[in-house]
Structure 1
Amino acid sequence: MKMLPLASAGHRLRVLCLGAHADDIEIGAGGTILGLIAAGVELEVFWCVMSATPERATETRLAAAAFLEGAASATVEVCGFEDSYFPSQSREIKTFMLSLRDRVEPDVIFTHSRHDAHQDHRELNKLTMNIFRDHFVLEYEIPKWDGDITQRNAYVPLQPGVIDRKIALLMAHFATQRSKDWFDADVFRGLARMRGMECRSPSLFAEAFTIRKMALA
């Protein structure tokens, strides 16, 4: 499988991470972020969570700080849109994201998948693709009881030990989620192992994404 690196050591990469809820970015792209930093990429990150209670906002700020340790720069923003009602708040969210586009010029955007079963995730994907039309977008996946795991067309093999660190950080920082049956180390490890098998990752583990379109030079 041909490898096209996002960036190499010493290279500066500006990344916009979008998540509907606290823990979404960490679950969907946390290993990729950890790997880029560990590889020596000069990562400039704007980390934006659209909905969180005060308790979950505290969790996501602490988790983001841990995942982004060693980044060249990190900005974390937590919004107050109402959980589970993003479609009915689409106008307000779009207005916010238009202002975000004026403030951030990313090389790569991580966002939710178009076919995610959660209505908030789908709405954020729709608005991301509508507003950031000329950007490179990687759509990540979130395991859940809805059973919406599907075929992906892009993979990031994780460096040895990254899956362990990702899971450890998830379990350490999101105490509000630990009682949920899907928020489980075996779930996260199992999905990463399956994606690692699909791309023949040397470490056995990978994160998977959907790229809807890209231009090759």
Structure 2
Amino acid sequence: MLNWGLPAKGLRVLCLGAHSDDIEIGAGGTLLRLIAAGQVHSICWVVFAGNDQRAGEAHASAAHFLAGAPDAKVVVHRYRDGLLPQELEPIKADFERLKSFSPDLILTHYRHDLHQDHRLVSDLTWNTFRNHLIWEYEIPKFDGDLGNPACFVALSAAHLARKVELLLTSFPSQASKHWFDAETFRALPRLRGMQAGGDSPYAEAFYVRKLLL
């Protein structure tokens, strides 16, 4: 196993999510760990779909997850949930404007996610950022589209507990969904922690298509 770490400080992280809870579900623990370790210099957090309620949840959740980050910017667009592919041209323009942030690490959706909004965000990430480190996060869902990732970020029990707590308190609009509960949000990190084989029983997993050492 190759153990390769991110720089100890100064990271500029771009977080991209189709919906208001995507970044938190897929990479929330990783962000909590990076910020707590002082590795992050600045974060740009972008959500593309959402109505007024979901936008409010997105801002409130991001504020909690990004607490302690030296510099954080949160942008929540109002494109229609489930119809991002129909909004391709303006969304592509939004991506082009993100180039000026010059990220060191980009967190985005998994390329083979079966949700059409997720796939579009992933495709535009790669279309826009050609020479950047991109980690594709995963989101458990009814579709059963999980793959076999090769990049793992170990999470402490405390970081996982904080991630689960924030997810359950930040998104009341999702509380009625049968899968939106603590068991789901603990199950996948436990399986990925087992798969990673590290010292921690928990991990978030990412798909990395290209890595230049």
TM-score of the aligned structures, taking structure 1 as reference length: 0.95
2:158 and 2:54 map into 1 onto residues whose CA distance is 27
Q: Is the 8 A contact 1:22 1:60 kept in 2?
A: yes
> Cα RMSD over matched residues?
1.0
Whether 1:46 and 2:44 are equivalent positions in the alignment is yes
The aligned amino acid for 2:174 is: Q
* Bigger mean CA offset, 41-50 vs 57-66: 41-50
The equivalent residue for 1:84 is 82
* TM superposition shift of 1:41: 1.6
CA displacement, residues 191-215 of structure 1 (integer Å, 9 cap, x when unaligned):
0000000112322000000001111
Q: Aligned ranges for residues 110-189 of structure 1 at < 5 Å?
A: 110-189=107-186
CA displacement, residues 162-210 of structure 1 (integer Å, 9 cap, x when unaligned):
1100000000101111110111110110100000001123220000000
1:80 is paired with a residue whose SS is strand
The equivalent residue for 2:53 is 55
Q: Aligned ranges for residues 176-215 of structure 1 at < 5 Å?
A: 176-215=173-212
* TM superposition shift of 1:80: 1.3
Q: Is the 8 A contact 2:13 2:40 kept in 1?
A: no
Q: Is the 8 A contact 2:49 2:84 kept in 1?
A: no
CA displacement, residues 123-180 of structure 1 (integer Å, 9 cap, x when unaligned):
1100110011111100000111111111111110112311100000000101111110
CA displacement, residues 18-57 of structure 1 (integer Å, 9 cap, x when unaligned):
0000000000000000001111223310000001111111
The aligned amino acid for 1:51 is: A
2:193 and 2:58 map into 1 onto residues whose CA distance is 27
The equivalent residue for 2:10 is 12
Q: Is the 8 A contact 2:135 2:207 kept in 1?
A: yes
The equivalent residue for 2:92 is 94
The aligned amino acid for 1:139 is: E
The aligned amino acid for 2:5 is: P
Return 5+ residue gaps in structure 1 as ranges.
Answer: none
Identity of aligned residues (%): 48
1:88 and 1:214 map into 2 onto residues whose CA distance is 32
Q: Is the 8 A contact 1:106 1:135 kept in 2?
A: yes
* TM superposition shift of 1:81: 1.3
Q: Aligned ranges for residues 65-84 of structure 1 at < 5 Å?
A: 65-84=63-82
Q: Is the 8 A contact 1:158 1:201 kept in 2?
A: no
1:201 and 1:187 map into 2 onto residues whose CA distance is 21
The equivalent residue for 1:2 is 2
Q: Is the 8 A contact 2:11 2:41 kept in 1?
A: yes
CA displacement, residues 80-104 of structure 1 (integer Å, 9 cap, x when unaligned):
1111111121122111111221x31
